[in-house]
Amino acid sequence: MKEDEVGNKRKLDIQELEAIRNNAYESNMIYKEKTKVYHDKMISRKTFVQGKKVLLYHSMFKLIAEKLRSRWVRPFVVTRVFDHGAVEITSKQTSKTFKVNGHRLKPFYEGFEVKNEELDVLENPTYQD
């Protein structure tokens, strides 16, 4: 009789372990779905228009130890936008045309005009209460 009780207890333990595994699997799938939705929501979509200027990410600079060097290379002009994120760009300096992945590009914004404003500076400032 003891063998039957031990056998039944073992079967119940195995079933309970299987239920715990299934619960963990379902929880893991729910977590992955929520994480994917959050990640997809935070991705900024880039749209490129023909004739606009863009900067190209130069991946070789990632290996260089210079911290303050910009990893974005000179402005290029978008000549053609392909399906699935490919973009054809042209360099104004060398007039070479090549295709790159749109993830390696970011829009180039022209600099703001700086107005020269002259300020009256006192040689010996005095503070008055």
Condensed to tens digits (0 to 9), the pLDDT of residues 20-66 reads 999 999 999 999 999 999 998 887 778 888 888 999 887 765 555 66
Residues 29 and 60 in one domain: no
- Structurally, the chain folds into a number of domains equal to 2
Residues 100 and 64 in one domain: yes
H/E run at residue 78: strand 72-81
The predicted model gives 111-128 an average pLDDT of: 56
Cβ within 8 Å of residue 97, ≥6 positions away: 79, 88, 89, 90
Structure tokens at 86: 């490919």
Residues 57 and 102 in one domain: yes
pTM over 0.75: no
Q: What is the pLDDT of residue 30?
A: 96
The predicted model gives 81-86 an average pLDDT of: 86
